[in-house]
A and B are shown apart, each in its own frame.
Chain A
Amino acid sequence: MHRRDFLRLLSFALLAASGLAPRRAGAAHPRERSRPLQFVFAQIRYRGGDWNPHPLAVTPLMEELMARTSVEAHASRHEVGITDRDLFSYPFLYVTGKYDFDPFTQEEIETLRRFLTYGGFLLADDALGQPGYGFDRSLRREFKKIFPDKELSRLPSGHAALRSYYLLRSVGGTRIVHPYLEGIQVGGATPVIYCHNDLGGAWERDPLGNWTNACTPGGEQQRRDAFHLGVNLILYAMTENYKEDLIHVPFIRKRLTR
């Protein structure tokens, strides 16, 4: 365990004792009591490296999601292993990290391939922000095994994921490693979207409500972009290319040209 993780756990323990701990998985949002949960933010727990660099990142995003959209979401994340029996109960998966991680087993690779081919969605987020090193290197290695004949490629600025709710012109995060997203196309959809800018870091807030990480160089606007992107990616996962339907095209074009 890294020193930073140890300090984080220690602060949780102290806050829990004072009743100020952030809501964990299973805690109910006010709107959850009367409504079922349409969306659960499931995060992949893998071996090696650091699968959990921002343990408090999801709740702020879920609060944002429920405040801005009609989606009913579980306030906290659900941690899931790739070979867990209930993996397919969570069609939206999030994987993040900083460092190199252990290669996936063959079973994990096949499960992910099946998951992504038949309608699941995976958001990958590089918390280190160093292309070619650490998490990025391991992730690309694993994607090569999951989809040997496909490449992670840059998504166009008009991709449906960038228009699924907000009309996004920039990609946020704690740092701007790349001003774009990458993705893997399967059929007409993009079941894998990869962000290099540490979205989780921008979403994370400590139990006292302060932002854990600064966003540079864009500051709060850049953080807002990260939230908007998070919302968009969740809606994209739940509606796929809905915003590319003909009925939306003229409206969106009109707004983008203003």
Chain B
Amino acid sequence: MNQIFFLSPLPWWAVLVIGFGVLALLFFQLRSLRERLSPAKSWTLIVLRGLVYGVLLFFLLSPGLIAQQTIKLRRSLTVVVDASQSMGLPASPGPAQIPNSRPTRIDLVKEKLLAGKEPLLRRLARDYELRLYQFSTDLETTTAQSIPQLKAEGRGTRLWEAVREASRRAGPGSAILLFSDGITDREATPTAEAPSLPVPVFAVGVGETRGYTDLRIADLNIPDFAFRGREVKFEFSVRAHGLAGKTVPLYFNHGKSLIASRSITIDRDPFETRLSLSYTPREIGPHSFTLSIPVQPGEAIAQNNQREFKVDVQRDKIRVLTLSGSPSWNYRFLRLALKQDPSIDLVSFVFLRTPTDSVDVPDNHLSLIPFPIDEIFLEELRNFDVLVLDDFSHRSYFNIVYLEKVRDFVRDGGGLAMLGGTRSFDSGGYAESPLGEVLPVEMDGKSSYEIGTEMRAVLAPAGKAHPVTRLRADTEGNEQAWKQLPALTTLNRVRRVRGETLLLANANGGRGGAPLLAVGRFGKGRSLAFMSDDLWRWNFIAVGGKESPQHHLKLVRQGVRWLAQEPAFEQVQIGSIGGARKPGEKMDFKIRVFKDDFTPASNATVRLRVVGPDGEEFPLEATAEPSEGEFTALFTPAKEGSYRIEAEARLAGRLLGKTSKNFSVAFAFEEGSDGRPRPELLEQIATASGGEFIPISAWNEKSLEAMATRLEKIAPSEIVERHQIQVWNTLWGFFLILTLLGSEWWLRRKWGLI
């Protein structure tokens, strides 16, 4: 309806004065006309003039009109459907043993949207500008045609992120109709942020909480790796719904062996308890563990009663066993070097007395202990990483067959070092022993042991880049460091080196010389031979020369680490694993390969494979990188679980080394593990955003109307347009005045006044 208004700046009293003036003027005009015309004609002319004055006076008030126009709008509505795995769970509680017998949560949503004579989706499309999305970890556009095929396959739910993104795309004046069970990866409820949403959320909760029964193992706090011989703790929670009053057993298995069990009394509903179990691994490598609770009657999800995980057991310290033929300065300073290194655990036996030595006191006045031959060689040797035979011969102490155990120890991955002396190499009877093939040198059978000639160590070509003999990082500095070391005075001569010669003993100041330090490999293990018992001189004599003992300490420690196959001393190294370590996301591996002398092996052949959680194998293609000796490979895991990458490198057909590394792939949360719907979360979001929460079972025609009414308040479905018209400024006013004045003029002319 039009409304009139006046815009004149004149005050009302001025208009009255002008009005009275007009009336006075008309009165005088009437008296003048009455003198010449009849009363009727006079009044006719006065009325016409009065109307003209009236219109002008009306225009003087600057009259305006407001014209209104109502326009109907199609409002925007965003429908968002949760398609995560949890929506594939049964909509109502019931025993897990009868799968597929009841509609799932997503079935219920589809039914609600698509069923009936006039499906809800069609009605919404008719009444609203409709946008459709599905979500799990990401928000994705979908269509009405795709809804019947929608599957609950998303491996996670980022509910809050999806709602926030949908509201951003919808813009103000819109609303979100959300179908979800409320299960999300976020532990914290996002209600603090919900009011900041620009649109209200009408959340339709799917899934029944009443009668929901489930028991699950959750919130595992498991270290990726543990140390051999050290207790490792596994923390986790047991959560239960609908099982109050029951007592259930919990089993903790290492592989297939039961190592612990607990009895858990569920004394409340909902129930949650935090538990901790521990285990001390004795072997290095991947260890599989299982936590399980028998499935209880009525449980919604059976799978979450069991959790499997792997722990990579590593050595915390390198365990070194030394056998010394007698007390010596070599032992003294070897011990110093090893004992001062916190990453090395040293057990040493020094034979203080030979069988021919006699004592003048009873045995119980001596501190000597019997050498536990059987215990060491038959049981404990495998628990060591490195065995050092320091001027030690087995001849006087035990049968040669025990050396077979040492050979097996090296073949299986152990490290063996033999240090020179009169009881070592040939002189110790090792040429014909099982260690003859293990050592990196071939003995000449002459028991050659030289003493008295001063010899200096010279780096052999293979020693220049080898990690054992790298005293300084730069090549020149390293060679200089070796030149500065004190001379040695003893040497065990060997026929030749089978492995790599790292150092030569030179008496003439030249570059050649007899082998002094050699390294090699045997089976999975490594061996090292140092053909002198003067190693200590590189420590204490250097100190006397006001040099540092560091070169001796470094050589000993690097030798031990190389023998123990520390990752940094392996020829095939798996570097950092890049990527998010989530199913469906690419990961990249970096592998470095070195030759025997530890120069980069850029032309090596690298074989890679990943072993999945169920033992499935995935061969990977290794790509050589411009960086020498570096290879990369890509892998996309399909599912969660513990994986292992295995790398093997060969050069000209010869094996350089093998290595492996465990890694786990998992989403940051446990979709499908906890199936209990979270209506309370949906309600919080809906309420805080100005929307409403409606359980799907309660959704009906009234819900739709209620949503429309709520939406009407914040975003009306029609708008009113208003126009302002200035009446005096229209042609109609001009023609009216012209008509009145024209009529008056015509009558005056007719009645003879003009």
The answer to the question of B101 belonging to the interface, with a C-beta cut-off of 8 Å to chain A, is no
The answer to the question of A125 belonging to the interface, with a C-beta cut-off of 8 Å to chain B, is no
- By beta carbon, the residue of chain B nearest A227 is B360
Q: Which residues of A contact B325 (CB under 8 A)?
A: 70
Partner of A242, one of B350, B360, B537, B540: B350
The answer to the question of B539 belonging to the interface, with a C-beta cut-off of 8 Å to chain A, is yes
- By beta carbon, the residue of chain A nearest B545 is A88
The answer to the question of B359 belonging to the interface, with a C-beta cut-off of 8 Å to chain A, is yes
How many A-B pairs fall under 8 Å by CB? 122
Partner of B543, one of A35, A114, A235: A114
The answer to the question of A166 belonging to the interface, with a C-beta cut-off of 8 Å to chain B, is yes
B367:A252 contact, CB within 8 angstroms: yes
A91:B365 contact, CB within 8 angstroms: no
The answer to the question of A258 belonging to the interface, with a C-beta cut-off of 8 Å to chain B, is yes
The answer to the question of A255 belonging to the interface, with a C-beta cut-off of 8 Å to chain B, is yes
> Which among A67, A118, A258 has the greatest number of chain B C-beta atoms within 10 A?
A118
User: With A70-B352, A71-B326, A239-B327 as given contacts, are A166 and B332 in contact (CB-CB < 8 Å)?
Assistant: no
The answer to the question of B328 belonging to the interface, with a C-beta cut-off of 8 Å to chain A, is yes
The answer to the question of B357 belonging to the interface, with a C-beta cut-off of 8 Å to chain A, is yes
A248 to B353, CA, bound (A): 15
The answer to the question of A89 belonging to the interface, with a C-beta cut-off of 8 Å to chain B, is yes
Partner of B354, one of A70, A228, A238, A239: A70
Q: Which residues of A contact B326 (CB under 8 A)?
A: 38, 69-72
B541:A119 contact, CB within 8 angstroms: no
- Closest-CB distance, B460 to chain A (whole angstroms): 25
> Which among A70, A118, A237, A248 has the greatest number of chain B C-beta atoms within 10 A?
A70
A163 to B533, CA, bound (A): 26
User: With A38-B327, A70-B327 as given contacts, are A167 and B332 in contact (CB-CB < 8 Å)?
Assistant: no
The answer to the question of A224 belonging to the interface, with a C-beta cut-off of 8 Å to chain B, is yes
Q: Which residues of A contact B352 (CB under 8 A)?
A: 69-70, 165, 235, 239
The answer to the question of A247 belonging to the interface, with a C-beta cut-off of 8 Å to chain B, is yes
Interface residues of A in 46-82 (CB under 8 A from B): 67-72
Q: Which residues of B contact A71 (CB under 8 A)?
A: 326-328
- Closest-CB distance, A120 to chain B (whole angstroms): 7
B357:A69 contact, CB within 8 angstroms: yes
A237 to B335, CA, bound (A): 12
- For the complex, count residues of B whose C-beta is within 8 A of A: 45
Q: Which residues of A contact B328 (CB under 8 A)?
A: 38, 71, 238
Partner of B365, one of A69, A88, A166: A166
The answer to the question of B368 belonging to the interface, with a C-beta cut-off of 8 Å to chain A, is yes
A39 to B332, CA, bound (A): 12
Partner of A67, one of B335, B358, B533: B358
Q: Which residues of A contact B335 (CB under 8 A)?
A: 239-240, 242
A237:B332 contact, CB within 8 angstroms: yes
A88:B367 contact, CB within 8 angstroms: no
A70 to B352, CA, bound (A): 5
The answer to the question of A251 belonging to the interface, with a C-beta cut-off of 8 Å to chain B, is yes
Q: Which residues of B contact A95 (CB under 8 A)?
A: none
B490:A88 contact, CB within 8 angstroms: no
The answer to the question of A87 belonging to the interface, with a C-beta cut-off of 8 Å to chain B, is yes
Interface residues of B in 139-161 (CB under 8 A from A): none
The answer to the question of A43 belonging to the interface, with a C-beta cut-off of 8 Å to chain B, is no
User: With A38-B326, A166-B361, A240-B335 as given contacts, are A70 and B351 in contact (CB-CB < 8 Å)?
Assistant: yes
- Closest-CB distance, B549 to chain A (whole angstroms): 6
The answer to the question of A245 belonging to the interface, with a C-beta cut-off of 8 Å to chain B, is yes
The answer to the question of A36 belonging to the interface, with a C-beta cut-off of 8 Å to chain B, is yes
- Closest-CB distance, B147 to chain A (whole angstroms): 71
Q: Which residues of B contact A166 (CB under 8 A)?
A: 361, 365-367
- By beta carbon, the residue of chain B nearest A234 is B327
Q: Which residues of B contact A120 (CB under 8 A)?
A: 540
A88:B540 contact, CB within 8 angstroms: yes
A165:B367 contact, CB within 8 angstroms: yes
Q: Interface code A113-149, partner B: CB below 8 Å = 1, 0 otherwise?
A: 0110011100000000000000000000000000000
Q: Which residues of A contact B537 (CB under 8 A)?
A: 89
Partner of A239, one of B332, B365, B368, B545: B332
- Closest-CB distance, B324 to chain A (whole angstroms): 9
- By beta carbon, the residue of chain A nearest B365 is A167
Q: Which residues of A contact B549 (CB under 8 A)?
A: 118-119
The answer to the question of A45 belonging to the interface, with a C-beta cut-off of 8 Å to chain B, is no
- By beta carbon, the residue of chain A nearest B369 is A251
- Closest-CB distance, B221 to chain A (whole angstroms): 33
A67 to B356, CA, bound (A): 8
- Closest-CB distance, A103 to chain B (whole angstroms): 22
The answer to the question of B333 belonging to the interface, with a C-beta cut-off of 8 Å to chain A, is yes
Q: Which residues of B contact A91 (CB under 8 A)?
A: 329, 332, 540
Q: Interface code A192-215, partner B: CB below 8 Å = 1, 0 otherwise?
A: 000000000000000000000000
A238:B327 contact, CB within 8 angstroms: yes
> Which among A34, A36, A72 has the greatest number of chain B C-beta atoms within 10 A?
A36
The answer to the question of A96 belonging to the interface, with a C-beta cut-off of 8 Å to chain B, is no
The answer to the question of B347 belonging to the interface, with a C-beta cut-off of 8 Å to chain A, is yes
Show 23 residue pairs from A and B whose CB-CB distance is below 8 angstroms, ordered by the A residue: A36-B421, A36-B449, A68-B353, A69-B327, A70-B353, A70-B354, A71-B327, A114-B543, A114-B544, A115-B544, A118-B543, A119-B539, A164-B367, A166-B367, A240-B332, A245-B347, A245-B348, A247-B347, A248-B369, A252-B367, A252-B369, A255-B366, A258-B364
Q: What would 12 more interface pairs be, CB under 8 Å, given A68-B357, A71-B326? A: A38-B329, A70-B353, A70-B354, A89-B544, A118-B540, A119-B540, A165-B367, A165-B368, A166-B361, A237-B332, A243-B367, A251-B369
Where the two chains meet, the residues of A that have a C-beta atom closer than 8 Å to any C-beta of B are 34-36, 38-39, 67-72, 85, 87-89, 91, 114-115, 118-120, 163-167, 224, 228, 234-235, 237-240, 242-243, 245, 247-248, 251-252, 255, 258
